[in-house]
Structure 1
Amino acid sequence: MAQNVLLTGGSGFIGKHLTDMLLEAGYSVSILSRSERESSEAITYYKWDLNKNYIDENAVLNADYIIHLAGEGIVEKRWTAKRKKDILDSRIKPIDLIFSVLEKNNKKLNAFVSASAVGIYGAVTSHKICTENTPPANDFLGTTCQKWESAVDKIGSLGIRTVKIRTGIVLGKDEGFLKKMIPTFKSGFGAVLGSGKQYLPWIHIDDLCRIYLKSIEDEKLEGPYNACITDNTTNSRFSKTLANLFGYSIWLPKVPPFLLKLFLGEMSQAVLTGQRVSSEKIQQTGFEFRFTDLEKTLINCIK
């Protein structure tokens, strides 16, 4: 009988790609959904409601592995006090619900794998290369990721192997980061944001999903791993490369920081800053990235 992988956030950009990869690899997949959905031969849907602290316990009890991807988008809305709370709660509440079921039923998973983000290193720009041993920052992004990962540690306290995937910008076709950028760049109005010197750690969706697959299959993986290409891409390089693929050189002036702060508020930190991040740890496990060249990756995503 196929081993079952339960996904939170299974209907999102990463979740949909990961579901396909898991099914192709021979796993059965279950997805937690906020709405009633009819299960298929390939995918079983279970109901949950974070607002009511409800989860169908069978989803957890029937799982061999759980991959936690759920969470409100970081740059979808301005960071009001309520929005910040929603961003944090949407990441931690699912873990708390799952923990309660595991603890109550003395259920042992083979592994619990959670998304995290390179934002744990903070909304700053520097030449320092961040590794998994770099201390978390004290700003909103840093503390959010730190609390997110601390919640995962509760699962680990039950004797379950836990893995935390600190993800960079995810590139893929039709959805994700590029979905917001392509209309502007395709129309010839692409521009560099701020100084353009902020680093932009990126990863192709296929490589990211392969890291998740490795995280459940390789029992040696435990703890945090950075999931991004270490090629020192900056916002300027990324923007100019994308514009060139649409047949023009960027002609607009850089979008000044004050303008982004005016329209985005504190959330502007997410686009005006960025650090260099090392992927050495995940590569030392034997993982090999298939998408390492920015231009070829972007061609794969937009053609």
Structure 2
Amino acid sequence: MVSNEDALSFLEKNSVYANRWLSAHPDWRVWLGERIHTPVDTNQIDQLLLPISQDLDNGALDEAALMSQLRLSRQQLMLWIGCRDLNGIASLLEVTQSLSYFAEQAVGLTVRYVRADLQARFGLPWARTEDYELPFLIVGMGKLGGRELNLSSDIDLIFLYEEEGETQHGANSISNHEWFTKLGRRLIKIISEHDAYGFVFRVDMRLRPNGDSGPLVCSLEMLEEYLFVQGREWERYAWIKGRMIYPSISHPDYVRCEKGLEQIIRPFIYRRHLDYGVIAAIRELHAQIQREADKRSNQRSGRSRDIKLGRGGIREIEFLAQMFQL
């Protein structure tokens, strides 16, 4: 078994990132040395984020402090996972699942903070049909949805809410759509904006209905109409990995929200009948993937051996697996 000191030396020798952060925070070297042979799991991540959660409960954080604390926690986690990974101690599953779990928790903490701030000014989004608060629905797509984040992944998100209406119990009332849009914009800023401590995750919103030209958030009714009127074949593939990451499974609204989303997404992904048109669309999508790979290969030298986009690469393997799912 590799010693703690040898593991740290190997990390510093082979990672500019680790060298920079350990030089800036010498106490982190001791902290990391104590954890090299401790697997990173959900309990460890909860402990890492516990001070932030407690400060949120006590109202002791402003936005700048939340951003800084999330970023510092992220850098510590990256060092911990990176050290175990580079030294061959961590399994692939440990790396991907712990990073994915951290992303979910960071998003959840951010929602808690912004929700409280918006509540003080505008009240809370309310259901029209029944008397309860509407939660923010966040779907993780791509690697986050599949719990496959790596050390350089961004996070693909889609923002949703259950129904239209107005906020209640606040000094000023605005539409639910406007309230959730404000929350979404600030969440993206807190998670992805660079400051002195870096960023938490890059956030990609392009998988939402109508991509960059569409609204930042949409109701479940809007999502359903879009998917069944305009939804394209590649979006069926993308939604296979879609997973609601907020509300979390422990949230009282989780079951209702998950059921409402599932009733829309499942019939869109898994059609009852496969006709020749669908098969032709799948064939064309595969050809499109190949054209994109060839284009990148021609534009840049070395791309012909691109393990992600090249022939036989990650994208093609994933396509084949999802083709059987569909």
- TM-score, normalising length from structure 1? 0.31
Larger radius of gyration between Structure 1 and Structure 2: 2
TM-score norm. by structure 2 comes to 0.29
Kindly indicate which of the two structures has a greater share of residues assigned to strand.
Answer: 1
* Higher relative contact order, chain-length normalized (CA < 8 Å, sep 6+): 1
